Amino acid sequence: MSAPARDLGPIIGPGHTFETVTDKIAAVVLSETRKGWMLGFGISFVLLTIFLQCVAVLFVRGIGIWGINIPVGWGFDIINFVWWIGIGHAGTLISAILLLFRQTWRTSINRFAEAMTLFAVACAGLYPILHLGRPWLFYWLLPYPNAMGMWPNFRSPLMWDVFAVSTYATVSALFWFVGLIPDLATLRDRSTSKVGRIIYGILAMGWRGSARHWNRYETAYLLLAGLSTPLVVSVHSVVSFDFAVGIIPGWHATIFPPYFVAGAIYAGFAMVLTLTIPLRRYYGLEDFITMRHINYMARVMLATGLVVAYGYMMEIFMAWYSGNPYESFMVKNRLTGPYKTLYAALILTNVIIPQLLWFQRVRTNIPLLFAVAMSINVGMWLERYVIIVVSLHRDFLPSSWGMYAGTIFDYGTFIGTIGLFLTLLFLFIRLLPMISIFEMRTLLPEAKVKEKHA
C-alpha cells in the first residue's frame, strides 16, 4: 500500500482484561433471558412452523405442489440449496483461511460465523433431499451394500455433491466444536445453575487447560484450518459442477467454479454483516466487534463482488466470442427475454449498489452498510434464479420452451428455512458463547509474554 494506512480503530476496545472479556461474553449466555431474544426467537419459530407445514404437504402430495415442470426441472429447491450453501462459505473462510493468514481480527467473529455456516449448511442440505420426490429414500444416495445389488454412479457431479456437502457439514461441525471446548469449560466453571454446570461439564469433557493439552489442541486446530481451506473451495466448485458438467447453455462454462466460490464468500460476508450489525448492538458487543471488523468485512465483500461482476462479464463475452448460437441466444434471452426484469434487478443489487463500498464513508456508516448487505443477499438469490431458471426455460428446441414461477409452497419452504436458520441461531446465541472467549484473551496486552531474562 502506497498511501499511509488509515487508522481504522482497534480490534478490541480499550481497558479490557481477562476478567472483563470472559464475563462480558459469558454473560450473554449466563444471564436471564431478555425480552428481545424471546421476541426474535418467537418470530423465527413461527417461520419454522411454516416450513414444517410445507414439508408435511410435500410428503403427502409430492413435488407437484412446487412450480417445477419440464423444461424447468430445477426451481426454488436448487436455487435455495445453492444460496444457503454459499452463505455458509464465509464462516469457513473467516475461521480457517484467515487463521492461516494470521488475521487476528477474525477472532471476534469466527465463532459466530462458524455457527452461521453450520446452520446454513443444514438448511441447504434439506433442499436436495426434499427435491428427491421420495425423500424418505434419501439414503439410497449413500454407497452401502444393498439388496438391489447396485452402487451409486461415482462419475456423476450429483454424487460428488453428496460427498462434498456431507464432508463439509461434518468438518464444519468438528471445527466449531473443537473451538468451543475451552469456552465450554469456562461456562462450566462460571455457571451458577446446577443444570448448567452438568450440561456444560459434559460438553467440555473435563477440559482443564493443561499446557500439554493446549499443545496438541493448537496443532489439531491448525491442521483443521489447513484441511478446511481446500475443502471450502472444493465444496462450491463441486456445486458448480452440478451445472458446468451439464450441456445447457448458461451452465456449460469453465468459469463456474471460481465464480461460484467468489459468489459464495460474497454472499456469506453479506449474511455475516446482516446478522452481526443488529447483534453487536443488542448485546453491547461493540468493544469486540469493532468498526474495524465491519470495515474489513465490507472490503472482502467489495473484492469478491468484483470477481462476481467479472464472472457476469465473462459470460456475456464468451457468448459472443465462442460464436455458439445457443450461447449468444442465452445471453440475449437473459437481457431481453421474459425474465429481463430479474436480470436487471440482479445487476442492480449485486453489481451496481455494492460499488458504494469503495467509499470509506459507506463502510463506516452502519445503516447504509446494512442496506448494501441486504441488497447483496437479494442479489445472490437472484443470481441463482437467473442461472437456473432462465437457462433452463429456453434451451435448444423452441418447441420445448416453457415458463416457470414458484408456488406458495415454494415461497413457504424458502421462508420456512429462513425460520429454521434463525431459530437455530437464536438458540446458539442463548446457549453458547458467540465470541470465542479464549481466543479473545490471547489478543489482550496482558497475554503477552515478556522476553527471556528481561
Partner 1 sequence: MTARVPVYGLMAEFADVNHLIEAIRKLRQMGYRRMDAFTPFPVEEVWEELGVHRNMVSFLVFCGGLAGCLFGIGLQYWTSVIDYPINVGGRPLFSVPAFVPITFECTVLFAALTAVLGMLALNGLPAPYHPVFNVPRFALASRDRFFLCVESTDPLFDREGTRRVLESLSPVSVAEVPD
Q: Residue 213 or residue 252: which is nearer to partner 1 going by CB?
A: 213
Q: Which of 302, 304, 298 has the alpha carbon at shortest distance from 265?
A: 304
CB of 212 to partner 1, least distance (A): 5
Q: How far is the CB of 243 from partner 1 (least distance, A)?
A: 15
Q: Which residues contact partner 1 by CB under 8 A? A: 17-19, 22, 143, 149-155, 157, 159-160, 163-164, 167, 170-171, 174-175, 177-178, 182, 185-186, 188-190, 205-220, 223-224, 227-228, 230-231, 234, 238, 241, 438-439, 441-442, 446-447, 449-450
Instruction: Pick the closer one to partner 1 by CB: 203 or 255.
Output: 203
Distance CA 208, CA 204 (A): 9
Q: Nearest-CA neighbor of 381 among 166, 86, 182?
A: 86
Shortest separation between residue 220's beta carbon and partner 1, angstroms: 4
* Residue of 363, 348, 244, 243 lying closest to 300 (CA atoms): 363
- Smallest gap from Cβ 206 to partner 1, in A, equals 3
d(CA 214, CA 217): 5
Q: Which is closer to partner 1, CB of 176 or CB of 385?
A: 176
Least distance to partner 1, CB of residue 94, Å: 18
Residue closer to partner 1 by CB (options 14, 398) is 14
Q: State how far the Cα of 71 lies from the Cα of 240, in Å rounded to an integer.
A: 20
CB of 194 to partner 1, least distance (A): 15
CB nearer partner 1, residue 102 or residue 208: 208
Distances (CA, A) of 363 to 225, 296, 352, 428: 29, 9, 16, 28
- Cβ(118)–Cβ(176) under 8 Å? yes
In terms of CB distance, is 28 or 372 closer to partner 1? Answer: 28
Residues 227-230: contacts with CB under 8 Å, at least 24 apart? 227/171, 228/92, 228/95, 228/96, 228/171, 228/172, 228/175, 229/92, 229/96, 229/97, 229/100
The residue (of 9 and 206) whose beta carbon lies closer to partner 1 is 206
Contacts for 336 with CB less than 8 Å, ≥ 6 apart: none
| R_g of the chain computed on alpha carbons | 23
Residue 233, CA atoms < 13 Å, CB-side half-sphere: 8
Our CB check for partner 1 shows the closer of 17 and 400 to be: 17
Are residues 148 and 132 in contact, defined by beta-carbon separation less than 8 angstroms? no
Cβ of residue 453: shortest distance to partner 1, in angstroms? 10
Q: Smallest distance, Å, CB 189 to partner 1?
A: 4
- What is the four-CA torsion angle of 172, 311, 244, 333, rounded to 10 degrees? 130
